[in-house]
Amino acid sequence: MEAYDPGTAAPCAYPRPIEWIKQIEFSSRCNLACHYCPHSKMPRPKLDMSMATFERTLLWLTHFRDAGTQGELSLQGIGESTLHPDFIPMMQGVREVLPDHYILFSTNGLVLDEEMVQAAALFHIRIDVSLHRPERAVYAVELAKKYGVLGVAGSAAATTPVDWAGQVDHPLGVPRYPCPWLRKGGVSIMATGKITTCCFDTDESGVIGDVAADPAIPILTQPWHLCATCHQIP
């Protein structure tokens, strides 16, 4: 990826309405404590999304699907989605709402089992495996290969590190480039059902709404405080 000069980027008007759900955080729990991730010090609740909140989230997905603005969807947040006890039926629920959209999830692979991978294959969902613990994740990689759903398996934290907009003490190894969230009106749904501006939101300071609200009522998004220290430019 080429370096991005924010001074030459086309301006983007804010605030702007949100147009798609970019990410759903099935769980904000994690079974690792990587030093290059803010999760271990994250002050917001660490829990699994309730099925009631998930059903409300599906209503939001349906709204943006029908509006023709819903893009690809990631089924993870700041946590390990495969820890959710209803992970498989949740994958199915999302696919039923978005039958033709590109869907993926990223996992550390530590609890990913054959049943989950079979379901991902059935629902045409790609699996990216982050090799935070490669000696333990190799089984997940081989399973995803076996069922033809492996996307990327790599150590991005080492090869293209980020510092989570200054939230962790870690080298920044990626160039600056336009934010794929703000510029396209994308948001993340937290495990609590809160709607946040950014996937880097560890303390809910980027929250702009909740799935309990009516998706037909516009919600506006705009740059927030972490944008000042992020490698992605609003």
176-213: per-residue pLDDT in tens? 889 989 999 999 999 999 999 999 999 999 999 999 99
- pLDDT, tens digit, for every residue of 213-232? 999 999 999 999 999 999 99
**C-alpha torsion sign, points 211, 234, 26, 19:** positive
**Quick check: 3 pLDDT over 50?**
no
Q: What is the pLDDT of residues 55-94, one digit of tens each?
A: 999 999 999 999 999 999 999 999 999 999 999 999 999 9
Instruction: Indicate the pTM of the whole model.
Output: 0.93
pLDDT tens sequence across 121-135: 999 999 999 998 888
Q: Is the peptide bond before 15 cis (omega within 30 degrees of 0)?
A: yes
**What domains does the chain contain, in order, with CATH numbers?**
17-28+43-233 (3.20.20.70)
Biggest CA-to-CA distance, the chain: 49
| % of the chain at pLDDT higher than 90 | 82
Q: Distance between CA atoms of 116 and 77, rounded to whole angstroms?
A: 18
C-alpha Rg value of the chain to the nearest Å: 17
DSSP string across 99-148: TTS-EEEEE--SS--HHHHHHHHHTT-EEEEE-SSHHHHHHHHHHHHHTT
- Cα(79)–Cα(94) distance, integer angstroms: 18
Compute the average pLDDT of residues 145-170: 89
Average pLDDT over residues 25-39: 95
Q: What is the mean pLDDT of residues 14-20?
A: 95
